Amino acid sequence: MISFDGISKSRIRFHYDLSTFFYRLLWGVHIHHGLWNENESPRRAQQQLIEHLLNESGIPRGASVIDVGCGMGGSSIHMARDHDCHVTGITLSGMQRRWAGTTAALKGVGRRTRFLRQDAETADFADGSFDYLWSVECTEHLFDKAAFFRRASRWLRPGGGVALCIWLAGDEPHSESDIEQVKGVCDAFLCPSLGTAADYATWLRDAGLEVGNICDLTPRITRTWEICRQRVERTGLTRLAGLAGRDSANFTNNFDLILNAYRSGAMKFASIVAKKPST
């Protein structure tokens, strides 16, 4: 794991409260990478990432799911509408909670979804509350990832599982340049640390889960940042983002940083699934 000091929970919350609107303008309702097979549109590529994770995890129709770091509710609403799932989405941001709740109601899945403003690191749900834990590009913001998985695994029923898409530090050993690049990304994108794939496997196993497929998706997702950079350059969104504070401007100014980190191998992007044993 590569850690970076200087990130606080209040900065992360403030960023998502203020920047959700920019994400919507720049990228759409899903705040996550696209997954490309060929030359699909960015919107289709975002959908493909969700479909990939649904296939990998085997979440059955009608399952009860907690979506940790639900953003504007993109995944939650998809699972509720197209897979009849009952989804609880949690987010640090009150703005996102309202956005997700309103969108779910407009899309006709208000009854199969609920959205809460909760910190995943202090949230408390009864043991066995959900079949699946779904989390797309949120765990990089958590401060104690191992403790989160230990607690969250208790929320799951036996036989359920975990479905994750994650920004990762590349595999160890890390060169000085890898560490510098990852720390730069952590600073710009408000991550207290990035774990390696091996770290995540250890944290999940220590939480009593059986780790399944770890799928390195890096080459299929990097185009996300090329497209974001083009869109920002074309539209002047950085100036607008600057009005929402330094962290938002930082975000739009640092697309090259993350692109280079993926290209150099300092960072990876993967889906990871795990199962809670039935007995």
Ligand X SMILES: C[S@@+](CC[C@H](N)C(=O)[O-])C[C@H]1O[C@@H](n2cnc3c(N)ncnc32)[C@H](O)[C@@H]1O
115: left (phi over 0), alpha (psi -120 to 50) or beta: beta
* Min dist. Cβ of residue 125 to ligand X (A): 13
| Selected binder of ligand X within 35, 45, 120, 241 (CB under 6 A) | 120
Instruction: Pick the closer one to ligand X by CB: 16 or 36.
Output: 16
* Min dist. Cβ of residue 265 to ligand X (A): 22
Is 232 a binding residue for ligand X by CB under 6 A? The answer is no
As given in the structure block, the two tokens for residue 153 are 């695994």
- Among residues 226, 249, 225, 224, which one has the least CA distance to residue 238? 249
| Selected binder of ligand X within 12, 59, 63, 249 (CB under 6 A) | 12
Q: How close are the terminal C-alpha atoms of the chain, in Å?
A: 31
Is 121 a binding residue for ligand X by CB under 6 A? The answer is yes
Instruction: Pick the closer one to ligand X by CB: 129 or 174.
Output: 129
Site string for ligand X, 68-107 (x = CB under 6 A): -xxx--xx--------------xxxx--x-----------
Is 271 a binding residue for ligand X by CB under 6 A? The answer is no
Instruction: Pick the closer one to ligand X by CB: 98 or 174.
Output: 98
Is 19 a binding residue for ligand X by CB under 6 A? The answer is no
| Selected binder of ligand X within 136, 207, 270, 274 (CB under 6 A) | 136
Instruction: Pick the closer one to ligand X by CB: 70 or 232.
Output: 70
Bridge partners, residue 3, by sequence: 193
* Min dist. Cβ of residue 217 to ligand X (A): 14
- Among residues 12, 237, 236, 2, which one has the least CA distance to residue 121? 12
Instruction: Pick the closer one to ligand X by CB: 138 or 169.
Output: 138
Instruction: Pick the closer one to ligand X by CB: 66 or 197.
Output: 66
Give the DSSP letter string of 195-255: --HHHHHHHHHHTT-EEEEEEE-HHHHTHHHHHHHHHHHHHTHHHHHHHT-HHHHHHHH-H
Instruction: Pick the closer one to ligand X by CB: 144 or 158.
Output: 144
Q: Any idea of the CA torsion for 122, 127, 130, 136, to the nearest 10 degrees?
A: 30
Is 162 a binding residue for ligand X by CB under 6 A? The answer is no
Binding site for ligand X (CB under 6 A): 12, 16, 30-32, 69-71, 74-75, 90-93, 96, 119-121, 136-138, 141-142
